[in-house]
Structure 1
Amino acid sequence: MVAVSLRWADASVLSVASACPIVLNGCRSACPTGKPREAALYHFSKIRRGLAMNQQLILHPVIVMFILTGTVWLFMYIRRLVYILGNKIDAQSVATPELLNSVIPANINSPSNNLKNLFEVPVLFYALCLILILTQRVDEAYLYAAWTYVGLRIAHSAIHCTINIVMWRFIVYALSCLVLWLMVIRLALQMR
């Protein structure tokens, strides 16, 4: 006899033993009918839909986005400080964003603009990932989409902070937004 156990986030355990009846411990509350056989079928349907995967895997792309934001922040300060110190600019003369923008050239200020951008649309990505974990809906499709989104955001930041070719930046930005909105639409359809 071979037994398989799957742990669910609600701490219930589904035990299946070959050639034995299905024994459920605490799974009845998750099943709409509360009957053992229907509860087992309910959980097996979740497994088939890919919901049995580790829900915390969606945090990996989130952490990479945090690292990207920190990297852009660090790059911004390094470029600004090198420029300010190299040109012997008085720190008080750049005390406000307006004064800073009037003194520092656009190519030095690009990382600052990108950092601001990383606190706009990516906030929706963070919220979406949190909702996916809380609703136990993380599956392979969401993981691939999340990694695609993060890869596109990395490309966007690299373009924005270095060569800053607007058309390239726009295409990568638009693609990343498309991926994110497809994830949001998919979740909205699943939650109906």
Structure 2
Amino acid sequence: MSKRDEIIAAAVRLAEGAQPGQANLSVRAVAKEAGVGPSTLRHYFPSQADLHEAVALRSIDTIINDFSIADRTLEPADRLYECCAQFLPTHEHREVQLETWFSMHLHALGDEKRAVSRRLLEHGHRVTYDSLRRWLNLLAEEGHLDPAEAAPAATALFTTIDGIALHSIITPETMTVEAGHEQVKWTIARILAL
């Protein structure tokens, strides 16, 4: 592992070990956790914003779970749904999840777009799409869908998930948590129908 990766790993450990909203990612705290001096940390991350962005990007890379997608003893639709459900709002955190989703998109668009928000959003989209595509390719290898359909199916699922988030904000009385999950199940059923 490179020194840069060791510093990021140390910052991630500090962030994960802290109470929500209480992570101390100061230069001193991260340098101490990584076992390096502050000047070494500054060599790799000239500003605290650079460090925070690297931690956010690393978190995006590790947050998506493959669950039981490779377990052939389970129904393919159930495996794919389990993986896709992690992108949907939950009852206990719905407001915060939707606010974060909307805020990231808002900050990445328009004349006032923030470059870091744009990079984080693009990276998150790429990692999400790659995960959807990987899961669908696995199911295609098992014969549950035409391999040529994996890429458009990944786009369809991604679009469905983003649409659910948007409709959950605009019409929360009809796009409930349950309705969102049912829509994903419906989409998966259509994708896997041979």
Q: TM-score, normalised by structure 2?
A: 0.26
TM-score (norm 1): 0.27
Q: Which has the larger radius of gyration?
A: 1
